[in-house]
Structure 1
Amino acid sequence: MRIIGGQWRGRRLLAPTGKDVRPTADRTREALFNILAHASLDQAPLGGSVWLDVFCGTGAVGLEALSRGAETCLFVDRDVSFARANFTALGASPAVVQGDATKLGPRTLARPADFAYLDPPYGRDLLSPALESLRAGDWLAPQALVILESAAGEDISLPVPFKLHDSRVYGAARLWFAGL
């Protein structure tokens, strides 16, 4: 696993092994950032943006965003040990919330996020409660783009007022693009 583009391009990231861990694949991250660069989803520009990497695991998606010019990224997960190891390896020191993504509480960032990437463990119905937590805590800017990752065959339901813009399948994963 590595950073695909930007200032840390080509740098390797630590990733745990085992069936219970599923970091977002290089190919999926590359496709995601190509979509953000070239598709018209009415999102903010990547440069200078604020990101949330929720259920961050290794932190690969948020680190990719920072590498490509995001101003800041907040990383959220119950276990942030691999993300912290990757921050150290890259010389980064972003903000981290170690805790339950479905119970975030009020926003601690200076301004709401332009992008939120949510990649919960598949099949555990955590997307809707996490989205509700983000909305209720004022974590998302009014025009924020929310990217959700699920198993390719998994269907999701978005809580009101989230609206689905698009979805795409990459191997075993599906990326869903939504907004408020």
Structure 2
Amino acid sequence: MAVSSSPILSPFRMKITATEFVSPSSTLPRINFCNNRRQSPAVVLASKSEKESWSEAKRVLMEQYGFNPDESLSPEPSPNGKRKKKLKESGRGVEITPKEPKAARTTHKLLTVLGGKARRMKLLSPKGMDVRPMMEVVKGAAFDILQAAGGCPASLRPGRWLDLYSGTGSVGIEAISRGCSEVHFVEMDPWVVSDVLRPNLEWTGFLDMSVIHTVRVEKFMERAQKLAGKEPFDYISVTPPYMEVDYAVLMDQISSSDLVGEDSFIVVEYPLRTDMLDSCGCLVKITDRRFGRTHLAIYGPKWAQKKKKKEKSLRGAAVEI
């Protein structure tokens, strides 16, 4: 005996008639798909799982009624799909974002030559903190001490100057302006050399008395004899970026090199909480002054130290008179 239900309108606009057979061997409903235009082919799904059978049946029905099963049955894209793809392409599990281009480096004229032939001439220096020139008050004090220790308060003793970590070149230019015959500038930054140091030398007219070494100071020290000759320098200025050098190692390297002679002077700018030795090779510390957070140490021959003490005693006697 069979009981027929009324026709049901499906979403595909086809009539579905469900006939339930009351039979001891079957308890599941049977569904007949009817199409007015053509008869649907029979689909036999015997060896597949229930989920696969249902998925394939849906594809067949949608193709018969003009739908694209690939579009309708495709899973919705995950909101994190694009991010996962980027992470996979990066190769390290971290999304790589393009770096913003660095701003163009610019210069301004804030430095001044304090004495000598080029006095009051303005010098270029980079904007920002890429290069930190020696403060003018420190530079002025250093040259006053050197001139007094050398026995010629009006100018420097003629000789060669080595400007390590030269940057803008303001120290070496000051040395030429006050009487040095030749200065070797050691600066590793090509942009600083081409856009700051060389223009400053051309502007002051000291390019012919200068030698520029675009190399790291450590490399220059290793090849000093080949790059600067075997003769020691009369003056050496050391003005490195404070946090990027080990002063103990640097000063030991300088004192043990052939760059230093018995009559050489060494000017060192260093920060607070840095221990500087009382001697540098054969040289003794002539002075050690503080300018805010900056310290200035000057090493020289023993005769310069005695001459400085003698000058102090003479000044004291003149005050008493």
For normalisation by structure 1, the TM-score amounts to 0.85
Distance 1:133 1:102, change over 3 A: farther
Question: What is the identity percentage for the equivalent residue pairs of Structure 1 and Structure 2?
Answer: 28
Match of 1:98 in 2: 214
| Code of the aligned partner of 1:120 | P
Distance 1:163 1:38, change over 3 A: closer
- The alpha-carbon deviation at position 119 of structure 1 amounts to 0.4
The structure richer in helix per residue is 2
User: Which residue of the other structure, out of 127, 147, 161, is the alignment partner of 1:17?
Assistant: 127
* 1:175 is aligned to 2:288: no
1:9-46 C-alpha deviation (Å, 9 max, x unpaired):
000000112133211111111111111122479xxx82
Name the SS of the counterpart of 1:154 in structure 2. Answer: coil
| Code of the aligned partner of 1:86 | N
Distance across 2 between alignment mates of 1:16 and 1:116: 23
* 1:58 is aligned to 2:168: yes
| Code of the aligned partner of 1:148 | V
Q: Which has the larger radius of gyration?
A: 2
Report if the CA contact (8 A) 1:102-1:129 is conserved.
Answer: no
Report if the CA contact (8 A) 2:168-2:200 is conserved.
Answer: yes
For normalisation by structure 2, the TM-score amounts to 0.50
Unaligned runs of 5+ in 1: none
Report if the CA contact (8 A) 2:251-2:280 is conserved.
Answer: no
Report if the CA contact (8 A) 2:150-2:157 is conserved.
Answer: no
Match of 1:72 in 2: 182
Unaligned runs of 5+ in 2: 1-110, 302-321
Match of 1:145 in 2: 265
Aligned pair count reads 176
| Code of the aligned partner of 2:289 | R
Report if the CA contact (8 A) 1:120-1:126 is conserved.
Answer: no
Which is bigger in relative contact order (C-alpha 8 A, separation at least 6)? 1
